Structure 1
Amino acid sequence: MACNKRIRDFSPKTQCREKRATEVIAEEECKHKLKFPPWHIPYMEKHRIYELFHELARELVIQQPADHVLFLKQILLQAVNSRDVTRIVILASPKVNCIEIAEQMGAKTRKLVIADEDINAFYKPRPRKDLNPKQFARVLGYLIRNKKASSSGWILAECVKTIDEAKAMLKAGILPTHVLHLIPPFLPPLCELMYCNVHAYWPEYRRNIMGIRDVFKHCLVEVFLKDQDIVEVITRCAELTNIRKAIVPLRPTRIVILGPKGCGRKTQAKMFNSRMGLIHVDFEQLLNQAWISDSELGKQLRACKDEVCFQSDLLSQIINKRILEDDCLEKGWVLTGFPNNEIDFRHLDTLDTPPNRVVFLECDLNVCRERLKNKRINVFTGSETDIKLNPELTIGKKLAVHPKDRIEVINAEITYYCENYGYMRNYCGETATVINANQSERWVFECIAALITQASPNCPPRNPCKGSEGSDNLLTSSGTTESIVSQKPEKPEFLYKCK
């Protein structure tokens, strides 16, 4: 019996079954998602590697060289410079003086303006209407290359008149980054420089404009001209052309929201958590948990006592431990309550996954104080209630003012934020975005959400190892804080008060 059992276990059929099971297990293991180290994506975002490879691939597909390796070597430096070049097409009704707007925009942004008359001058023996779409695209490409507009950017005004011309332009590799459709009011004042009399091109414009918009829908921006003069329109168009959509959506999104106490930082973080699934990293809550823990970090925090607010390295370790957890790495996060000064910010930027979006909420300080003055805490449940907005919720409940919401605490924290606001803004430079928080909660949320879909700012990244003018401290490459001025900043009373 034992012999038969042994033969049955090692029979060819059993061995084949075991081999197949091993292959299935190996195949399933290959299907598992690869987990990259968390610092890979921040590095690519910081140096804008996505945009660089997108520009290389675009030039490679358009030019189609015989030796693609040699071409990539030669085009690399040009791709680095051209990934930030703005290429604009202006679509406008014949009622709009499009040429005047384009010329003033070109003078302001230092870009080449190509108008329909330039194409007519190039093909002077033949009228413009006799050019087929391929010839139009060929002439347009020649004008752009001959006038060296590829490196500085260009503006096309009144050039694209039909759907076929728009398609031929894209097929020839003339790809705009922005298409501005200037929409005038129903009865524009013809006495202004921005408008002109309607000419014979009007019926053709009506037939083709919707199709042209559809061809350029990936980069189309509408600009309404009602109640604006030409200076305001040009300023608005220049602002819109500075905003570019992200080539690759940021995954994961890492946002830090800063602002005075009462401006709505936590409210926005909770909205992002409920609507977009981002993890709300509440620094105050993390600090309280770390303070009472028996870990080595908790012992170090308790040893600092009231000086804990100066220990930026310890405070950043609390955040680093949380944002390296799987949910934050996969879904992204929104940080509130930290940093509170420039040194905090520098330590935050040395983490493996630093924030890729920085938002400053600017709010009237009197409004902030009013919001906090009306906030009450249920002493039994701990829930928050605004007695001004929800007076009916105060009936039959025992409410009290939280110790953190006393007027002296509020004034101390707001004063400390105002003292350090300038240092943090100078350190962030153009990598930060300022949003008016006096508006409604939904308006502020939509502004921050729109920021996520945009490309990374075209500016140098933040450098935590480089000191800034007026800064009291400098973070060295080893991660330690080196004092430039021996005097410490004023101690923020009530800040990081753990109980």
Structure 2
Amino acid sequence: MCNYERAAKPRPILSDFVSYIEKHKLYELFYELLTQLLIQQPENPVAFIKQCIQHAIRKRDIPRVILIAPPNFDKMILAKILQKEIGIRPVTLEDLSALSPAEDTCHCYNANEIAMRMKRMLMSGILHESGWILVDIPRNKKEAQALQRVGVIPTHVIHIILPSAENETQKNSKQRNYKRTLRGLREAFANHLIEIEAGTRTIQELGKYCVALVKIRKYYGKPLFFRIVLIGPPGSGRRSLAKYISERFNLVHVDFNHILEQACVQETALGEVLRLCKHRCGQKLKSEAKIQIVKQHILSSECLKKGWILTGYPKTVEEFKLLDMIFTPPNRVIILEVDIKTCRERLLNRQYNIITGSKHNLASSDSSITDQDDKLNVHLKDDIEQDLQEYEGNIEAIMQYAKETACVINARDERKCVKERLEACLMQPAPSAKPRIPPPTIDPMEIEFDPDDEPDLRSFDDIRTRGTPEPKYSFI
């Protein structure tokens, strides 16, 4: 193999570094950095990259939205709702025309002129603090490509879809022109497009939904390995749902009760401790021992390569914090919302045959159940009241700890609906929220000077440039 082929062969990123990359959104950072570098093509790319990163530190999460909707939909009202909720500023053709009122404003309707004026507005910095939402811009694929060529790249493109009956009543020239240009716009923004069906929702409800979507940043990097914690009370169907998700997304299902039984029979120091606790009636297993059992499985090579879904753990906030402190913490937290009464009924209806060991549900219409009523009993492992009380006493604190990082799913409906909601939750980007465990603060007074420390490289700036000032760049 020649040197070129060896160098061109992609190298996989080690699993040890994946959680750090995801936590600090490094994929997204380098994606946007490379995009702007190729569009702007600066003479001094090193200075451009340095200043671009400094700009990204302050403005990286500012929303940039393009709104696409039929002509009979009032886009400005929706834009005003977003402006009120998150401070994002609407930009229209009239705003671009007002940049140079002395010039002939008819030129503003040219695709290249629209792009250049938009670029001029953004590089002036007046929208750096608020972000922007384009209303009736762009109107076709040519204008969209002109904006992309000058570096106007949105973070979200929202396409409002009205009911078909409402569209049919508005068959005029504007509607026909919109349908002709819609396909081109969708092609130009395929990587950022978000479809929203208006249905019977009011404009205020649509606005709130759009606000929630804008707060979620799209993931541009390599496919994520799911590391899911599925939390729910006994009887919520968490284990069967986890089994379905593990098969659907090729994940490793890690059930705490199952791996606990495995650890108890192993001839290890941990297994000996577990057997000792098991023989002592009423003695609970310490949190430190539980996390060791969990770490042993989710840090295995199979879980690091495939991803995992964890059930039965954590049960308390203390256990959740220990889980967050491992090298690859969960990147999805899903809570199944079911009332305790429903769970109790499900657990009481879940019985097993004491002879064959087969499981049955008394609430189902299975005719074979009536033939063996005398052989059925409640599962011995189902210590119903104790488990439900433990969950009920800890779930509020767990949700308070997880906050915006958790996704709550209604699990009271039919199993098919719950599966669809669970899949939809996983297919969406992870909630953009602060980390559950903030990084430790460093006291400057505790930092000691080491004579062997590397010198401050800023002192060599004048030597490198030989007195030539570094060029200053403006960013969109």
Amino acid of the residue matched to residue 143 of structure 1? M
Deviation larger for 144-153 or 66-75: 144-153
Amino acid of the residue matched to residue 162 of structure 2? P
Alignment length (residue pairs): 434
Map Cα deviations across residues 107-156 of structure 1 (whole Å, 9 max, x no partner).
22101110122133335543547732111111112222335324432100
Question: Cα gap change, 1:412/1:465 in structure 2, threshold over 3 Å: closer, same or farther?
Answer: farther
Alignment gaps of 5+ in structure 2 = 441-476
Name the residue aligned to 2:298. Answer: 323
Alpha-carbon distance between aligned partners in 2 of 1:348 and 1:150, rounded to the nearest angstrom: 38
Question: Cα gap change, 1:144/1:35 in structure 2, threshold over 3 Å: closer, same or farther?
Answer: closer
Question: Are the aligned partners of 1:359 and 1:433 in contact in 2 as well (CA < 8 Å)?
Answer: yes
Displacement of 1:157 in angstroms is: 0.6
Question: Are the aligned partners of 1:99 and 1:115 in contact in 2 as well (CA < 8 Å)?
Answer: no
1:63 to 40, 55, 71: 40
Displacement of 1:395 in angstroms is: 5.8
SS at match of 1:39: helix
Displacement of 1:222 in angstroms is: 2.2
Question: Cα gap change, 1:384/1:326 in structure 2, threshold over 3 Å: closer, same or farther?
Answer: farther
1:377 to 341, 345, 352: 352
Aligned pairs for 1:379-398 within 5 A = 379-394=354-369, 398=375
User: Aligned-pair RMSD on alpha carbons?
Assistant: 3.2
Question: Are the aligned partners of 1:376 and 1:402 in contact in 2 as well (CA < 8 Å)?
Answer: yes
Alpha-carbon distance between aligned partners in 2 of 1:77 and 1:404, rounded to the nearest angstrom: 57
Sequence identity percentage: 34
Larger Cα Rg: Structure 1 or Structure 2?
1
2:165 matches 1:165: no
2:111 matches 1:133: yes
Amino acid of the residue matched to residue 207 of structure 1? R
Displacement of 1:461 in angstroms is: 1.4
Name the residue aligned to 2:474. Answer: none
Question: Are the aligned partners of 1:48 and 1:456 in contact in 2 as well (CA < 8 Å)?
Answer: no
Amino acid of the residue matched to residue 359 of structure 2? E
Name the residue aligned to 1:215. Answer: 188
SS at match of 1:152: coil
SS at match of 1:338: coil
Q: TM-score, normalised by structure 1?
A: 0.79
Displacement of 1:255 in angstroms is: 0.5
Alpha-carbon distance between aligned partners in 2 of 1:32 and 1:315, rounded to the nearest angstrom: 41
Aligned pairs for 1:149-188 within 5 A = 149-186=127-164
2:341 matches 1:363: no
Alpha-carbon distance between aligned partners in 2 of 1:97 and 1:198, rounded to the nearest angstrom: 17
Map Cα deviations across residues 56-81 of structure 1 (whole Å, 9 max, x no partner).
22222222221212222222122233
Name the residue aligned to 2:219. Answer: 246
Alpha-carbon distance between aligned partners in 2 of 1:376 and 1:251, rounded to the nearest angstrom: 39
Question: Cα gap change, 1:402/1:34 in structure 2, threshold over 3 Å: closer, same or farther?
Answer: farther
Map Cα deviations across residues 414-440 of structure 1 (whole Å, 9 max, x no partner).
121121112212222222211111233
Question: Are the aligned partners of 2:216 and 2:432 in contact in 1 as well (CA < 8 Å)?
Answer: no
Question: Cα gap change, 1:394/1:344 in structure 2, threshold over 3 Å: closer, same or farther?
Answer: same
Alpha-carbon distance between aligned partners in 1 of 2:365 and 2:304, rounded to the nearest angstrom: 37
Map Cα deviations across residues 455-487 of structure 1 (whole Å, 9 max, x no partner).
443322122898xxxxxxxxxxxxxxxxxxxxx
Alignment gaps of 5+ in structure 1 = 1-22, 190-195, 467-499
Q: TM-score, normalised by structure 2?
A: 0.82
Alpha-carbon distance between aligned partners in 2 of 1:146 and 1:50, rounded to the nearest angstrom: 27
Name the residue aligned to 1:481. Answer: none
Alpha-carbon distance between aligned partners in 2 of 1:435 and 1:270, rounded to the nearest angstrom: 17
Displacement of 1:243 in angstroms is: 3.0
Name the residue aligned to 1:435. Answer: 409
Amino acid of the residue matched to residue 238 of structure 1? V
